[in-house]
């Protein structure tokens, strides 16, 4: 069975996870390693409409990020697993980030901007946003319990998947899944 799952994964990578792979059952089959913790929802779910602080100080909501697949990562400066995961998210942003995909990091709880900047400098991450949810309004509204927690939003801004805990977002499995999700037609 492991060989079959690996074959599906590498075939998807070879095909560039094109539209032919758009069926969710095929995307589920791509889950390997840490990605087995990824819960793909059978139906899209609404997300929080609460505002959070953009890194430039503006108040924004998740609706402001509609139009592309978004990997929303809830984290904190004091979170050890977040320290391990963040460089992989940065690598993912470098590889897939653009008009169709974005990694959106949201510091949940008490995370002063200077501490957040120092955290990113220490782990050598310079391509991810320093957005804040200081009162955990978005996190609470989306039932985020524990950090890190990653939520995948479709282009319509709906939650389509969730992963609790840290994961290797730079793995072949994560890349194949995200590429396949990027290729899904709108409304899927």
DSSP string, the chain: -HHHHHHHHHHHHHHTS-GGG-SHHHHHHT--GGGGG-EEEEEEE------EE-TTS-EE-GGGGTTSEEEEEEE-TT-HHHHHHHHHHHHHHHHH-SSSEEEEEEEESS--HHHHHHHHHHTT--SS--EEETT-HHHHHTT--SSSEEEEE-TTS-EEEEEES---TTSHHHHHHHHHHHHSPTT-
Mean pLDDT across the chain: 89
Domains located in the chain, CATH noted = 40-167 (3.40.30.10)
142-185 pLDDT, tens per residue?
A: 999 999 999 999 999 999 999 999 999 999 999 999 999 998 87
Does pTM surpass 0.75? yes
pLDDT of residue 43: 94
Residues 43-76 have pLDDT tens digits of 999 999 999 999 999 999 999 999 999 999 999 9
């Amino acid at each position: 069975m492991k060989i079959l799952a690996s074959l599906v994964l590498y075939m998807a990578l070879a095909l560039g996870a094109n539209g032919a792979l758009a069926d969710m059952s095929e995307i589920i089959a791509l889950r390997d390693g840490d990605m087995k913790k990824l819960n793909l929802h059978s139906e899209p779910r609404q997300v929080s409409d609460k505002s959070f602080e953009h890194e430039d100080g503006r108040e924004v909501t998740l609706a402001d990020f509609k139009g592309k697949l978004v990997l929303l990562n809830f984290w904190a400066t004091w979170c050890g697993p977040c320290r391990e995961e963040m460089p992989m998210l940065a690598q993912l942003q470098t590889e897939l980030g653009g008009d169709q995909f974005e990694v959106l990091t949201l510091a949940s709880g008490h995370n002063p901007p200077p501490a957040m900047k120092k955290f990113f400098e220490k782990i050598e991450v310079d391509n991810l946003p320093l957005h804040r949810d200081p009162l955990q309004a978005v996190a609470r509204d989306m039932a985020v319990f524990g950090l890190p927690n990653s939520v995948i939003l479709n282009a319509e801004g709906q939650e389509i998947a969730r992963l609790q805990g840290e994961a290797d977002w730079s793995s072949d499995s994560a890349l194949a899944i995200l590429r396949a999700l990027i290729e899904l037609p709108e409304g899927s």
